[in-house]
Amino acid sequence: MHRRGFLVAGLAAALSGSRALAQMKMDGMSDMDSMPGMGGHAGHDMGAMGQGPAALPEGEALRELPLLANEAGRQGVFKARLAAEAATARFVADQDTPILAYNGMSPGPLIEAYEGDHVEITFANRIAGEPSTIHWHGMPVPADQDGNPMDPVAAGADRVYAFELPEGSAGSYWYHPHPHGRTAEQVYRGLAGAFVVKAKADPVPAEYGDTVLMFTDLRLAADGSMPDSTMADLMNGRVGDHVLVNGQKNPRLAVGTGAKRRLRLYNATNARFLRLAFANTAMTVIGSDGGLLEKPVAADEILLSPAERVELVVAFDRSGTATLTTLDYDRGWMGPGRPAEAGQMLLTVDVSDTPAEAMPPLPERLRQIAPLGAPTVSRRLVFTETMAMNATGMEMGFLINGKTFDMARVDIVAKAGETELWEIVNQADMDHPFHVHGTQFQVIERERGGKASKPAYLAWKDTVNVARGETVRLLIRQERPGPRMYHCHILEHEQLGMMGIVDVQV
């Protein structure tokens, strides 16, 4: 696949690959640069009037995500209702934006439960004419409770998701829809929420607070609506114009000098890679997708690919302004209109001269992570992209081991409780964040250009970026039987077929 060639030399010259999977009709094929979404990033489409994307108000006080109320009324049980439905949001003054929301809000309400809890959530799908599901991203829930595409909830129907939160499962998870062929759209229209499982005994001082920062990505048309995805969106994944934090653009947070804050950062965007730095502060990574690390690790910057999470302690030791800002990251953009990744201000912290209350230090050990040990099986998953022309348009394929997703096909049969080595090989021209349902894995090695490196520390992950040309080796063990999805978490790629099924058997 000669992606850059095709862009430079025109379509016909460089089209190769016969496996045509997703098919997009394109008019005016010979004049690709004039097409919406091809000649420029659609979100930066200047339009006839020469106006850029709408300006959003900035600098409002950071809103903590509202908690989903627990209706159980007894210890050890979390019971609630989540309805997915159409709603309106007001991102720009005097303009209503139709969105999808959980219980009327986007991001959805924050679910906070404890290790050992029994969870029972009734899902009401009130999206007109569309099936949906709720998938519990990263959580160790039974396969038939995990909102897989094989278990759609029809429009107008309800279903109960029930599961236990095992001891040791404390971590920063999230929930989002996963219906076949509609996940990408339902998520960018607003359906995603955070699910924090708290530890009964938490080593992180309570004085640091515990704040979820959920990043989503918004594109607004001039009339305030969210435009449909373009060809460029399908290829690269949909990237919007505004990265929002808890639904707000660059909100402000006020702290005293010397304050320490525990922040859980979520990349809930469809396709935006967030390389982040926090000016005028010291960042310490304390946790990954699946909970705390063994010990804190200082960090100058963080790469959070779509669906990844990181838990930080940030120390605000100098008065003034501390801004969380994006840095440039080249994830292999296909076509013209690569969005400007650098310099977006996501959060502004005002650090006052007034000293904060005294903060206890972060313990040097957070918990123990047992290495998964020697694998009994090893598997290789090769990610590729294809493009081809036919009479009706251009066809793109996002493949794993040469195949596109088929709900009726089991790709891998695994045994519950056995450790496996998975080698994720990215032979494509874009980065692909790899995700598996139902468990947390441990990355043990990365290889690029013939150079292998070990990760600096052990961590529980359910999503890992596999850069173009890179191989990531990970150890994985599924404890619970049933079919599990694995896929690229650029949701447009998942939707176009970059997904498979591992069937876990007892």
83: how many CB neighbours lie within 10 A of its CB? 16
135 near ligand C2O, judged by CB under 6 A? yes
Nearer to ligand C2O, 255 or 310 (CB): 310
Q: Six-digit token pair at 75? A: 């210890």
Whether the CB-CB separation of 426 and 474 falls below 8 Å is answered with no
Q: Which of residues 452-491 bind ligand C2O (CB under 6 A)?
A: 485, 487, 489
> Taking CB under 6 A as the rule, which mask of x and - marks residues 408-437 in contact with ligand C2O?
---------------------------x-x
Contact partner at residue 490 from ligand C2O, Cu ion, none, CB < 5 to 8 Å by partner kind: Cu ion
Q: Which of 128, 243, 125 is nearest to 188 (CA)?
A: 243
Nearer to ligand C2O, 332 or 483 (CB): 483
Contact partner at residue 473 from ligand C2O, Cu ion, none, CB < 5 to 8 Å by partner kind: none
194 near ligand C2O, judged by CB under 6 A? no
309 near ligand C2O, judged by CB under 6 A? no
Nearer to ligand C2O, 473 or 489 (CB): 489
Q: Which of residues 277-306 bind ligand C2O (CB under 6 A)?
A: none
182 near ligand C2O, judged by CB under 6 A? no
CB-side exposure of 425: number of CA atoms within 13 Å? 13
Encode 116-164 in three state secondary structure. Answer: CCEEEEEEEEECCCCCECCEEECCCCCHHHCCCCCCCECCCCEEEEEEE
Whether the CB-CB separation of 491 and 192 falls below 8 Å is answered with no
Shortest separation between residue 108's beta carbon and ligand C2O, angstroms: 14
Nearer to Cu ion, 208 or 486 (CB): 486
Nearer to ligand C2O, 139 or 425 (CB): 139
Between the alpha carbon of residue 99 and those of residues 118, 191, 321, 412, the distances in Å are 31, 9, 33, 37
Nearer to ligand C2O, 344 or 478 (CB): 478
Shortest separation between residue 422's beta carbon and ligand C2O, angstroms: 16
Contact partner at residue 331 from Cu ion, ligand C2O, none, CB < 5 to 8 Å by partner kind: none
Q: How far apart are CA 207 and CA 195, in angstroms?
A: 21
**Contact set with Cu ion (CB under 5 A):** 137, 432, 437, 488, 490, 493
Contact partner at residue 487 from Cu ion, ligand C2O, none, CB < 5 to 8 Å by partner kind: ligand C2O
Q: Which of 36, 42, 35 is nearest to 271 (CA)?
A: 42
Shortest separation between residue 488's beta carbon and Cu ion, angstroms: 3
Between the alpha carbon of residue 148 and those of residues 103, 176, 201, the distances in Å are 21, 11, 32
Question: Starting from the edge strand earliest in sequence, which strands make up the sheet with 274-278, in order?
Answer: 252-257, 345-355, 320-327, 274-278, 301-304
Bridging pattern class, strands 432-436 and 463-466: antiparallel
Residue ranges binding ligand C2O (CB under 6 A):
135, 137, 176, 178, 307, 435, 437, 485, 487, 489
